[in-house]
Structure 1
Amino acid sequence: MSSNQNTLNSSTQDTNQALWQQFVQSGLIEKAIKPVDMIEPDTVLPDFTQLTASEAMQLLKHSIVADCYKRLNAKWRKYKQRHLSNLTSLTIKAETLDRLRAFAAKAGLDGDNYDLVLEYLLDPEEDLESDKQAVAELPSGLSTQDQGQLLQAKLKLRPSSQRYFYSQLEHAFGHGWLACKAAKQRSDKHRDQACEDFMQNIKGQ
């Protein structure tokens, strides 16, 4: 074996061991193993930071039940693969994912390669308004609070305009509170009509 190959193997082993140390220190092993998973209830597991990944997994294979071992082994493999490939997890609402997929299809991109889609959005070579408009009517997964933050980011309001915006929300809440207390009929129909009347008044129509 050449010196270059030896150096490469040594570097791979060092990287693998460093990742294993991180995996152990993350507490994922302790979280994965419950008392009922131990083959021998009185077995005391060693300090896994003192073992290599292969040594630890071999020991665990004979210390915990098969289902637990499979889950833990899968966690380790996934952890290592994610770090070696420089991938990370991104949690989004299902509705947001649907909008990304629809946008990707409209733009002629691979809908499963979200790096590509996001890079396209972040560094566009063209006006994207038509593509974005095509998915604008799809339902959003954002909460009301999230939508408020998005609206502020989009509008980039001056401080005075922002104060006016909040005063309108406060006024709307106060009006709704009083109207609810005074209302004799509270059906959805009457609520929607009252809301429409209130919005027309706000818009000056």
Structure 2
Amino acid sequence: MIENLPWEEVAGNPEKYIQLLEERDAHLQRDTYQVRMELRLVRQIKKHMDTAREWRESGIPEQRQPDPAYDQPTTSTSADGKLPPRKERILLLMSQDPQRQWKALEMADALNESSKGKSVRVAMDELYKAGKISKLPNAFYQYAQQDPDCLKLTRRPPPRSRGQGGGQCDEPHRKPSKAPDQFVMSHFTGDAVR
């Protein structure tokens, strides 16, 4: 493309070519966006077709029962009949099938809040930042599994010199805390480090 530009004309009137190239760029961005959306749709169709084929071959899987080791939020309604907070309902739903990977819009549908997809995504991001759920590639979320080696809560240790280790859990299911006084999971130390 650059080899096709008439450089003498470009040098004589660069504003004209800037405008032409910006228009071309905008057009290509629109085309790229449309292709991305079509690709996304086709991938979703393929995923559903694969699921349908698997169910035809093996039957619909049984619903998984929550693991008793997981802390589950209460599901009762308050005295005035209101639902528990959204975050508690998200955690409850995700704990029922800890292996399932959720998109925010799927969670919104499951909570009967389809019109509040963005609010559900924000709540899921906050739960991720709090370490309650995991955030996976392609905007999937999953219930944060408790690694048996990472069950001891410890305070973030003071900075150490190179080569002494950090005393923090390097497991991918937890986002490291930035605040020094917050608790982080650790399996390198046995006692609370201050």
TM-score range for the pair, normalised by the shorter chain length: under 0.3
- Structure showing the higher helix proportion among its residues: 1
TM-score computed with the length of structure 2 as normaliser:
0.27
Mark the structure with the bigger radius of gyration. 1
- Structure showing the higher strand proportion among its residues: 2
